[in-house]
Amino acid sequence: MNILAIETSCDETAAAVVSDAHAPGASWVKSSVVASQDDVHQRYGGVVPELASRRHVELLPSIVQQALERADTDLGSIDGVAVTASPGLIAALWVGVAHAKALAYSINRPLIAVNHLAAHLAAVLLDGKPCPWPNLGLLVSGGHTNLYWGEAARGYRLLATTRDDAAGEAFDKVAKLLGLGYPGGREIEQRAKGAPMNAANPLPKSKLKSGEMGFTFSGLKTAVAQWRQKQPEMAVEVVAHAFQERVFETLSEQVEKSMDLLRPRALIFSGGVAANRRLRQGFEALCQRSGIAFKVPDFAWCTDNAAMIGALGLLKLRAGQKAPFDLRAQPYETLQSDFDPEFFPPVQTA
């Protein structure tokens, strides 16, 4: 099956053609086009929703066209149109949803509504290799820091989320404090590499009580600001490294706790922050020690893209989950502590 997928939930205008009609183990991605809007939002230090949606309106038709051309296909060979319908910036989401409705209607093919967060988890399937079940899904992006529990027959449910900032947001804010560019995650990672080995780390560890599930990053961010004030001469590399290490500890503490409790067969690490090599290596080592599989998307499928929307779109199409043409975009993250087939459909295992 071939899916045309569209993503406009934030500041990337993206389209992809994704297909599962390949030899086992071959990539599902036939094409993926991502137009980043960093140039539009950089000077504001964050995404300006109105500007994001205007840019989506301008770019989306040609991005879709490019995705079809690069896949060497046309609308006649598309079996369904998948689109991010939640969560995200509402006006930005509507641009993608309206466009997807028009396309699906014009070719008389199903419209498939995709949750952006679930799609970040599904991104690990794009390499064409199955992910062992049950698994833990750690989704760490600019807007979310969520840990999920996944079972093949039931999909995913939420185990833990952030009490305040998302980890990616903390990366971006700390980068700003350190005078680095936007988006900040990549910049912090680069600078952290330059820190001397064994530099002292005065930043506090996460403040949650020992039995609690969840993440918190705002105290860490404040501690960085205070450190900067007290010691403005401290090398940016040392601060970036100290911050990144504490982020890893905060994330891995909850993951380890859940591994001990639930005994998964794999850990999925996904979302924009999963593009960070230090964090990837840290989780890979953790999985090796625990004897479970580590699944992380290719770098291209960590930050926002439409290929991951296509990956989940395919699973939903296979499960017969079509969206009605009065589908509405929904801006909020609906925190689901139960398995919800609309979020991630149960999948058949071989």
Task: Check residue 184 for interaction with ligand KG4 (CB under 6 A).
Answer: yes
- CA dist list (Å): 332 to 79, 89, 122: 29, 9, 20
**5, 30, 13: which is closest to 82 by C-alpha?**
5
Strand 29-36 relative to strand 12-19, pairing: antiparallel
Tally of CB atoms within 10 A around 346: 14
In angstroms, give the least distance from the CB of 321 to ligand KG4: 22
In the list 126, 189, 216, 287, the residue contacting ligand KG4 (rule: CB under 6 A) is 189
Nearer to ligand KG4, 163 or 318 (CB): 163
Count how many residues are written for the chain: 350
- Tell whether residue 273 is a contact of ligand KG4 (CB under 6 A): yes
- Name the token pair of 83: 């689109």
Contact flag: residue 303 with ligand KG4 (CB under 6 A)? yes
C-alpha to C-alpha distance for 200 and 256, rounded to whole angstroms? 25
Cβ atoms 16, 301 nearer than 8 A: no
Q: How many residues bind ligand KG4 (CB under 6 A)?
A: 20
Minimum distance of Zn ion from residue 143's CB (angstroms): 7
CB count within 10 Å of CB 227 equals 18
What is the DSSP-derived secondary structure letter of residue 206?
P
Beta strands in 125-214 (DSSP E): 135-140, 145-151, 155-160
Cβ proximity to ligand KG4: between 104 and 166 the closer is 166
Token couple for 60: 């989306």
Both tokens of 168, joined, read: 């990616």
Q: What binding mask, one character per residue, do residues 142-161 give for ligand KG4 by CB under 6 A, x or -?
A: xx------------------
Partner interacting with residue 275 (select from ligand KG4, Zn ion, none; CB below 5-8 Å by kind): ligand KG4
Q: How far is the CB of 60 from ligand KG4 (least distance, A)?
A: 18
Applying CB under 5 A, among 141, 206, 216, 250 the residue interacting with Zn ion is 141
Q: Of 2 and 141, which has the nearer Cβ to Zn ion? A: 141
Is the Cα dihedral 260, 265, 269, 270 positive or negative? negative
220 scored as a contact of ligand KG4 (CB under 6 A): no
Applying CB under 6 A, which of residues 276, 282, 336, 347 lies at the interface with ligand KG4?
Answer: 276
Among 271, 297, 310, 345, binds ligand KG4 (CB under 6 A): 271
Q: Residues touching Zn ion: how many (CB under 5 A)?
A: 2
Report the candidate in 119, 86, 206, 212 with the shortest Cα–Cα distance to residue 159. Answer: 212
Stretch that binds ligand KG4, among 96-104, 129-137, 167-175, 213-221 (CB under 6 A): 167-175
Q: Which residues bind ligand KG4 (CB under 6 A)?
A: 10, 141-143, 168-169, 171-172, 183-186, 189, 271-273, 275-276, 303-304
